[in-house]
Amino acid sequence: MSDERTKAIIGDVVEALRGVLRKHEVTFAEYRAGFMHMAKTQEAGELPMLIDVFLNSTVVEIENATRTGSKAAIQGPYFVPDAPFVEGQLAIRDQDMDLPKMLMRGRVTDQSGAPVAGAVIDLWHSTPEGTYSGIPRHGDLDKKYYRGKIKTDADGKYECISILPVPYQIPNKGPTGMLLETYMGWHSWRPAHIHYWIHADGKRDLISQAYFEGGDYVDDDCCEGVGNEFIVPEAYENGMRLMEVDFVLDEASSPKPARVAEPAE
């Protein structure tokens, strides 16, 4: 049984790739080296990461065309579904207690401006080493650190303190890094950022990120994930970097065009 949508998309992918082969008069040796590199990338467990680096931002761009509230940003590979609920502060390791802090706060509303109370916001960000907790390849730091769920209050407001994240370097020792850095002359850095996943009953989930105005790589993200609307102006409160970010949620029922619908049975 064929699925019409899969058939159409894969047909176009193959046609687009054939166009690239023809345009560059790719030789058999180059073609073979190309797919062997993909095999090596898969063997290193990096295939999802490689594909995300090149294409995740485009899928987000397509999704955003159907949003009228806040725009979504890339999710990245380090969301952990069962992070703990926290009150006002993410867990900070003892050794990091004296590092600069940030205050994340803002308000979640619907499109009429009404507060969305009880929205669950998953927050996650890097350690001071530029890794993520709860990720075996990142040293398996307990997932309670630098990630957690908070809830908006009756006024739709949220507030949470943590330490500042740092720029994150996607692993550059394996086949992905070799492709990006050695063969393509790219760097493999993302600017420091905070991840958000906002869930509220009756609303469309929103996955977002926030970046720090003036931060390294904000203008030069290897994942092309930074949009101006996600850059938070530099401000401080009580000695903490203030990351004030409001979110406007679309209704869950907001129309989605056929191109983002589930494939037909």
Nearest by Cα to 177 from 189, 191, 165, 188: 188
Rounded CA-CA distance 132/139 in Å is 9
Structure tokens at 109: 């509303």
Q: Is residue 109 within 8 Å of 115, Cβ to Cβ?
A: yes
DSSP letter (8 states) at residue 182: I
What type of residue is 198?
I
Choosing from 121, 192, 223, 243, the residue that interacts with ligand DHB (CB under 6 A) is: 223
Choosing from 70, 72, 78, 197, the residue that interacts with ligand DHB (CB under 6 A) is: 78
Choosing from 108, 119, 123, 170, the residue that interacts with ligand DHB (CB under 6 A) is: 170
Shortest distance in whole angstroms from residue 1 CB to ligand DHB:
35
* From Fe ion, ligand DHB, none, interface partner of 53 (C-beta below 5 to 8 A by class): ligand DHB
Rounded CA-CA distance 246/105 in Å is 8
Site for ligand DHB in 53-72 (CB under 6 A): 53
Q: Does 49 bind ligand DHB (CB under 6 A)?
A: yes
Shortest distance in whole angstroms from residue 251 CB to Fe ion:
28
Q: Which residue is nearest to ligand DHB (CB)?
A: 76
Shortest distance in whole angstroms from residue 193 CB to Fe ion:
6
Instruction: Give the three-class secondary structure for 230.
Output: helix
Q: Does 249 bind ligand DHB (CB under 6 A)?
A: no
Query: HEC states along 83-142?
Result: CCECCCECECCHHHCCCCEEEEEEEEEECCCCECCCCEEEEEECCCCCCCCCCHHHCCCC
Shortest distance in whole angstroms from residue 56 CB to ligand DHB:
7
Choosing from 46, 70, 76, 250, the residue that interacts with Fe ion (CB under 5 A) is: 76
Q: Does 76 bind ligand DHB (CB under 6 A)?
A: yes
* From ligand DHB, Fe ion, none, interface partner of 130 (C-beta below 5 to 8 A by class): none
What are the C-alpha distances in Å from 164 to residues 184, 204, 239, 247?
31, 28, 12, 21
* From ligand DHB, Fe ion, none, interface partner of 77 (C-beta below 5 to 8 A by class): ligand DHB
The binding site for ligand DHB (CB under 6 A) comprises: 49, 52-53, 74, 76-78, 168, 170, 190, 223
